Structure 1
């Protein structure tokens, strides 16, 4: 092209198709619900790669398999060999592995890739993010722990066991796993949010659940062997799973898993409940503080 032609050609503006959005503004509530749904689906690998579905689905199957076996036994013996409130305590290792795998997946990737600021741009805020992530993790744990109880309950009804009694026990079991889910979700998310490294988060969550339980159980056994039953009850305050055990023993009529069934007294149960609620509130406050620092 000659110099003369280049200077005389008119400028051209190409329309590449961008246009403004004039639809409805759905606001914070919709954004919060969407983040909750996306986080809950992600906790089971839904909407993600096939590899991401393997571990949560395997752990879900491991949680449900003993319930299926127990329901089959109940159909033959006409007796339920386990309490609904005890099921999650027996399978706490599976619950811990699930939480250790999924809590870092829920929050660590946002921290690692610095996408939190994009969430907080508009219209979602720090409060919405923390609520959505906390509620999604607690819901995922509730699905994991409540589904086996539903299997046990259906098995009891099919075996024609006492319907009213098992309905009451099933409701007590749901109350127990609801508390466990909220408590564990808070602890897991707080620990996972401390590092953007998923591997470190997995190890830290496992340590936060297993080390206190191992230490408390060991000291409880020593106290029981020495005849100090009062100490056995109070020591349960220092581990998440024994904290749930103490609350459900006092308020849900469960049989304590403490050595010698030495659960807390009624006054002690009130303290257990207060501590559990305090841990939940403290976990939420720590998450809010954490995202105040990394969000903007």
Structure 2
């Protein structure tokens, strides 16, 4: 049986010969390839944000709401196309059953829910979990981060609004409606879809950036979008019944849905979706100006908000 003095002697003899540890070469090498700048980083960030809005690359649970809303947006358009193609001669139809310019207002509740759900997912989550600090550590400025996030949300919203319009346009061609007329109306509606997506996304992103609580942000966005439209539609109805059409025209400036529809009526002579559309050049120019101010104001508000975020 060995004594403590024997163990001590062994330790001293090992220390006398130096350390016995071995360093293994695992083959790790530093990255020696090209380092991408701000542009490629922003593009990758945009694609990731766009995919996330529809739950692509995420769990199945994340896909349920956005994909469900997209399906619900397409279903009425598919029914309208089916009726137009199959019963055009029987019903004596010579144009779309529902005009392109009025479809977004008809489905505005679905659009509002989509924007209200996805804006906090892109904006509030980064602020709450402080992942924004990691993004700003990359070669990407705050202004670029804001614009890329807003572009992802705007593109996703445009897909939601524009997909049923494209389906209706293709259905109109299958039903042998005049190609030139349908193309002109569809292009006008596509421009309106872009403007509406920009207005909705800008307002929703700004509201979502003011709170890190996702549930609170969702509720606030729905209030801003849905309640504003309800109030505006009510005022326009009262103004129309009382003969004060100018009041209804001015009220239309305070909801993104009625605002963009007014721009379509003014610029493209699209069918109006409200009972008090803008009349006259001055009012039409005012509608266009308010759209520009809404989008630029939302971007400016987001830039101010993110200046207070510490990298």
TM-score range, shorter chain: over 0.9
Cα contact 2:125–2:212 (8 A) shared by 1: yes
Which protein is bigger by CA-based radius of gyration? 2
Task: Deviation per CA, 1:16-53: give whole Å up to 9, x if none.
Answer: 55432110111100000000000000010000001100
The question of 1:77 aligning with 2:88 is answered: yes
Cα contact 1:232–1:258 (8 A) shared by 2: no
RMSD: 1.5
The question of 1:285 aligning with 2:300 is answered: yes
Which residue of 2 is the match for residue 142 of structure 1?
158
The question of 1:117 aligning with 2:125 is answered: no
Tell which deviates more after alignment, 262-271 or 240-249.
262-271
Cα contact 2:265–2:277 (8 A) shared by 1: no
Cα contact 1:212–1:238 (8 A) shared by 2: yes
Once the two structures are TM-superposed, the CA of residue 234 in structure 1 deviates from its matched residue by: 1.1
Cα contact 1:100–1:205 (8 A) shared by 2: yes
Distance 1:249 1:32 in 2: 36
Q: How does 1:223-242 map to 2 (within 5 A)?
A: 223-242=239-258
Which residue of 1 is the match for residue 187 of structure 2?
171
Distance 2:69 2:140 in 1: 32
Which consecutive unaligned segments of at least 5 residues does structure 1 have? none
Q: What is the DSSP-based 3-state SS (H/G/I as helix, E as strand, rest coil) of the residue aligned with 2:75?
A: helix
Which residue of 1 is the match for residue 289 of structure 2?
274
Which consecutive unaligned segments of at least 5 residues does structure 2 have? 1-6
Cα contact 1:249–1:255 (8 A) shared by 2: yes
The question of 1:294 aligning with 2:301 is answered: no
Task: Deviation per CA, 1:137-183: give whole Å up to 9, x if none.
Answer: 11001111111011101111111111111111111110110110111
Q: Normalization by structure 1: what TM-score?
A: 0.95
Cα contact 2:101–2:273 (8 A) shared by 1: no
Cα contact 2:101–2:272 (8 A) shared by 1: no
Q: How does 1:33-48 map to 2 (within 5 A)?
A: 33-48=43-58
Q: What is the DSSP-based 3-state SS (H/G/I as helix, E as strand, rest coil) of the residue aligned with 1:294?
A: coil
Which residue of 2 is the match for residue 156 of structure 1?
172
Which residue of 2 is the match for residue 129 of structure 1?
145
Which residue of 2 is the match for residue 21 of structure 1?
31
The question of 1:32 aligning with 2:42 is answered: yes
Distance 2:13 2:261 in 1: 86
Do the aligned partners of residues 265 and 194 (structure 1) sit closer, same or farther apart at CA in structure 2, a change above 3 Å counting? same
Cα contact 1:120–1:295 (8 A) shared by 2: no
The question of 1:4 aligning with 2:42 is answered: no
Q: What is the DSSP-based 3-state SS (H/G/I as helix, E as strand, rest coil) of the residue aligned with 1:114?
A: coil
Cα contact 2:123–2:208 (8 A) shared by 1: yes
